[in-house]
Amino acid sequence: MTVSIAKDKTRPVFPFTAIVGQEKMKLALILNVIDPKIGGVMIMGDRGTGKSTTIRAIADLLPKIEVVEDDLFNSHVSDYELMSDSVKNKIQKSENISTTFINVPMVDLPLGATEDRVCGTIDIEKALADGIKTFEPGLLAKANRGILYVDEVNLLDDHLVDILLDSAASGWNTVEREGISVRHPARFVLVGSGNPEEGELRPQLLDRFGMHAEIRTVKEPSMRVQIVEQRSKFDSDPYMCLQEFQEQQDNLKSSIIAAQQKLPSVTIDYDLRVKISEVCGILDVDGLRGDIVTNRAAKAYASYQGKDQVDIDDIKEVITLCLRHRLRKDPLETIDSGIKVEQVVENVFSIN
């Protein structure tokens, strides 16, 4: 009995490297982990295609992070951009700061969440009566330096989606109540998933997601059998399954860490940047977000491949994920937006 309770506490997660197929979704998640500034990923697909399983698996794969002990915001001990005001004050006063290592936060945002639950609240009564600014942190505080996952994001209130995207883009969350203001770091990878049958996100909101992966139910019989077998094996003995994939998990973890360290030194030629912008221009992509995200994603992919410089193949690998959701919807258009992006890319990059 004691053994089973101890095992239950660890709550094993399906190993990321054991997931069969859905390569584009997996790549989008890995690249966002390598460079969170890509801006998160929106995953749209049929029910039962492993969206939630894959998202939870990537969080479980990541190495532990060092945080300031007893801090509400998972503050970094030396990076000012990832540090709460109280930690900054301690550093300025040269106070001793103790740290601990925690798993990368994986925060689920429930559909019925209120703005206070997401952003946090200030206890106005205490502030007015005692002059103490008491902040009750929300989900954005818990998600700092981690992953914030919103399942069925297309059913979430637009106002909340706006708040999430603003925080993800700026890396900060500000709560203001009755003239009292609290600001804290909120840098996280925003991952949304949904089923297109339940409605699409507004184009303005969709455009704010860095990448967009569309996944379909696997049709290939042998691959379907492989997926079912893998799942059955995990359900019957999760610890044996985790052991089986431990080496692959460790190798992927090492590759991600190496890519994160290499990323700042990866370069992309001016000519390739021009071609990326040319593709965006031909596709009539509004704004410059598509250009920026494609450049970032190409660098992250090149870094993941161990390269010092981005080449055409790196761009081709990521550009559809970065642009397909930014194309204007034409109800009479018969061609898939992903194929449209690929065709333009082939034309532009084949011209010397």
Catalytic residues: 289
- Residue 325: which of 289, 300, 351, 275 has the closest Cα? 289
**Joined tokens for residue 77:** 């001990």
In 3-state terms, the chain is what percent helix, strand and coil (to 5)? 55, 15, 30
| Pairing status of strand 41-45 against strand 65-68 | unpaired
Q: 211-246 in b/e burial notation, b at 16+ Cβ within 10 A?
A: bbbbbeebeeeeeeeebeebbeebeeebeebbebbe
What does each C-alpha distance from 187 to 34, 73, 124, 286 come to in angstroms? 14, 10, 26, 26
CA distance 333 to 13: 41
Q: Residue 222 region, left (φ>0) first, then alpha (ψ -120 to 50), else beta?
A: alpha
CA distance 262 to 247: 22
Contacts of 285 (CB under 8 A, 6+ apart): 291, 323, 326, 327
Give burial (CB, 10 Å; 0-12/13-18/19+) of 136. middle
Q: How many CB atoms lie within 10 A of CB 300?
A: 28
CA distance 80 to 78: 6
CA distance 116 to 296: 33
